[in-house]
Amino acid sequence: MAPMTIDDYTWPPQDNGDKLPWPSPPPGRFLPVSLPNWDPTKIVSLDTQAVGAGHGGTIPQLSRVTLVDYRGQIMFDLWIRPQSPVTGPPRNQTMAPEGVEALGFEEVQSLVGEVLEDKVIVGHSLWESLSILGLSHPASLTRDVELYWPFRLRLGTREHVRLASLVWHFMRRHIQRARIDSLENARAQIDLYRSVEREWEGYLQHNLWPCVLPPERWARCYT
């Protein structure tokens, strides 16, 4: 049997703020006792950080990429040498700590791309990380907590919700209090996903895709 693609699923309403025809699933309906063929070793959480280049630091370039596994254990936490001069306010720049080796962009892109192949990627606004890495990924193998419609329904919003807000509302945990940290973010993302994993995968087992569309201009990040 061919792998499922994004077009094989029924999508939630994308316009006018309509609610899902299947909002939060009734107990037991979309919550399978087990997840057949579900392999946690195939699940990773991805987050990246950037520094600014160009006029006023308006062009992002990759400075750090973090991958953690299903349990939040570090797979990669790599720093990248800037490809262009870093500009913009110093307070907004995240550079490799002193004494930590920074790798070239192409090397990191190749390493991360190889690890992500055939993996389910958990993230928040995943198109940002995929874009800055110059990678694309099958949409059906993404679990973007920013796009997960049941989260938005429970918060009563149709708008973008920051990762820190999701983590606070659903896990009562503070993140990003002092600074942005891709390792902290990656672990928070996988924790959020795991908190609704059976619900999310239950939707998919019923051929229901429980996420809104990513911004159209980032369609190139998905296959």
Q: Domain map of the chain by residue range?
A: 47-221
pTM value is: 0.85
From first to last of its 223 residues, the chain has per-residue pLDDT tens of 455 666 666 655 444 444 444 444 444 455 655 677 788 999 999 999 988 776 666 678 899 999 999 999 999 999 998 877 777 665 555 666 667 788 999 999 999 999 999 999 999 999 999 999 999 999 999 999 999 988 998 898 888 999 999 999 999 999 987 778 999 999 999 999 999 998 898 888 888 888 988 999 999 999 9
3-state secondary structure of 181: coil
Which tokens in the block code for residue 139? 């949409």
**Spatial CA neighbour of 46 closest among 128, 168, 161, 151:** 128
d(CA 143, CA 192): 11
Neighbours of 5 (CB within 10 A): 12
Residues in the chain, overall count: 223
Domain 47-221 has CATH 3.30.420.10: yes
